[in-house]
Amino acid sequence: MIVFMTVVNYIDRGAISYAQEAIIGEFGLNPKTWGQILGYFGYGYMFGALFGGMLADKKGPKFVWIVVGIAWSLFEMGTAFAGEIGLALFGGSAIAGFAVFRILFGFAEGPTFSTINRTMANWAAPKERGFAASLGLLGTPLGALLTAPIAVALLSFTSWKVMFIILGVIGLIWIFAWMKVFTDQPEDNPKVSKEELAEIRNEKQLLSSEKLVDEKEEEQVPWHHFFRNPTLIMNAIGYFAFQYVNFLILTWTPKYLQDTFDFKLASLWYLGMIPWAGACVTVLLGGRISDALRKKTGSLRIARSGLAVVSLLLTAICFILIPTVNSVTAVLTLMTIGNAFNFLPNSVYWTVIIDTEPSKAGTFGGVTHFFTNIATIVAPTLTGALVAMSGYGAMFVAAAIASAVGMVAMIFVKPGTSKRKIKPSSTASRPSV
C-alpha cells in the first residue's frame, strides 16, 4: 500500500514536467520563470514535511495519510485551472496562480516520507529496518519511471488540464482503499499473526546502540532535540544532496532532452523512464546491503554512513562526466548510473533517524525532510538560472557538487541511540530533555 501511495505521489508531482511545452506556450513563460514554477512546490513541501511528521507521531500515520491524500489530490486537480485563476484573481499573473497551487500541493505531499518513517518505526523489526525503509521508498524511482509513459499517454489523448484532473481522481480512489486496509500498529491488524508480532517486537535482535519505539520517551524528547544531535544534522545534509539530484532529474530531464537533442513529446514516454530504471533496483538493494552490513559488522556506522559515503562519491563522478560527452546515449547512460548510485543509500537517511531516535521517527523525520526539501526549491530554480546563464552543462556540475557536499557530511554521521539524562522540569511535573 505504501509503495502504491508513493507512486501516486510522485506521478502527481512529476507530471507537470511533461506538460511544460503546452503550459509555457499557453502562458508565454521562459526557462527562468518555468524554473520558478517548478520550485514553488518545494516551499509548501518543506513545511508539510515538518508538520506532517509531528502529526504522525501525535495522531498516528493513518490519520495523516487520509488528510493529506485527499488534499494533494484536490490541489492536483486545481492545477488545471491555476493559470486562469492567477489571471483572474492575482493581478493578471498566471505565474502567481501556479505558485499558489504548487505551494498548497507541495504542503499536502510534504508529510509523505516522514509519515512513512513513523510507519516503519511502528512496523519493522530492527534487523530489517533498512530493507523495510527501502521498500517504502521504492515508490520514488518507480513513480518517477512511470510518470513519463503515463503523463505522455494522457497528454497524447487529452489536454494537460484533463491530465491533472484524471490524476487527482486516481488519488482520491486510492484514499478509500487505504482507509480500509491500513492500521497504525501491527497489533491492530487482524492479518498479523502472534508469531509475526513477536518477531517485530523481539528485543533480543537489537544491537547495543539500538532500541524499539518507546511511547513514554516520545513524550520526554522535544522536537528541538534534533539540533543538539550532530548525527541528525549531518544526515539531513547528506539527504539534501540526494534530493537535489533526485529533483533535478525529475523536473528538468524532459526539457533538457527536448532542448538539447530536439526530441518531441512522443519520444519522452520511454526516454523519461531511462534515468530511473537502475534506481528502482538499487533503492531496494541498498536496504538489503545496509542490513547485511549491520549483521556482519555489528556497526551501524559502516552499515549506514559508509554505504552513503561511497554511493554519493560515485554519484558525483557520474554527473561531473556528463558535460564531457555529446551523444544522447552517453548522457542517459551516465545519468542512469549516477541516479542508481544516488538511490542506493536512500533508505539510509531514514534508518539513521530510526536507529538514533525511534520514538521520534515521525517528528525528526519531518525536521530532516524540512531541511532536505530546500533542495526541491533550489534544484529547479537554480537550474533555471544556470541554464539561462551558462547552458545545460552547468546543471550537471551543480549536481556533482551537491553530491560531494553530501558525501563529506555523511562521514560524520554516527547512527545509534545515546544515553541522556532526563531532568525534572521546573515548570511541570512531566520530565523533559
Domains along the chain with CATH numbers: 2-185+195-201+221-411 (1.20.1250.20)
The whole-angstrom separation of Cα 97 and Cα 107 is 16
Q: Give me the amino acid identity at 416.
A: G
Q: Tell me the pLDDT of the chain (433 aa) as tens digits.
A: 888 888 998 899 889 988 988 999 899 888 788 888 888 988 898 899 888 888 888 888 999 989 999 999 999 999 999 999 999 988 888 999 999 999 999 999 989 888 888 888 888 887 787 888 888 788 888 988 898 899 989 999 999 999 999 999 999 998 888 888 899 899 999 999 999 888 888 777 766 666 666 555 555 667 678 898 999 999 999 999 999 998 888 888 888 888 888 888 777 778 878 898 999 999 999 989 998 998 899 898 999 999 999 999 999 999 999 999 989 999 999 999 999 999 999 989 988 988 888 778 788 888 898 888 888 888 888 988 898 899 899 999 999 999 999 999 999 999 987 654 444 444 444 433 3
Q: What is the DSSP string of 235-302?
A: HHHHHHHHHHHHHHHHHHHHHHHHHHH---HHHHHHHTTHHHHHHHHHHHHHHHHHHHHHHHH--HII
The pLDDT of residue 430: 41
**Residues contacting residue 51 through CB under 8 Å, at least 6 positions apart:** 110, 111, 366
The pLDDT of residue 433: 32
Neighbour tally for 429: CB within 10 Å: 6
Question: Which phi and psi angles does 432 have, rounded to 5°?
Answer: -140, 170
Q: In 3D, which of 430, 128, 187, 415 has the Cα closest to residue 299?
A: 415
The pLDDT of residue 181: 87
The whole-angstrom separation of Cα 330 and Cα 333 is 5
- Determine the distance from the C-alpha atom of residue 44 to the mean position of all C-alpha atoms in its chain, rounded to a whole number: 14
Q: Is 205 helix (H, G, I), strand (E, B) or coil?
A: helix
pTM: predicted TM-score of the whole model, two decimal places: 0.74
The pLDDT of residue 193: 92
Max CA-CA distance within the chain? 68
The pLDDT of residue 163: 96
- Determine the distance from the C-alpha atom of residue 286 to the mean position of all C-alpha atoms in its chain, rounded to a whole number: 16
Question: Which phi and psi angles does 8 have, rounded to 5°?
Answer: -60, -45
Helices (H), 298-357: 300, 307-321, 328-343, 346-356
Q: In 3D, which of 49, 39, 33 has the Cα closest to residue 13?
A: 39
The pLDDT of residue 35: 82
Q: 349-383: buried (b, 16+ CB within 10 Å) or exposed (e) per residue?
A: bbbbbbbbbbbbbbbbbbbbbbbbbbbbbbbbbbb
Q: Is 28 exposed, middle or buried (0-12, 13-18, 19+ CB in 10 A)?
A: exposed
The pLDDT of residue 429: 41
The whole-angstrom separation of Cα 161 and Cα 191 is 41
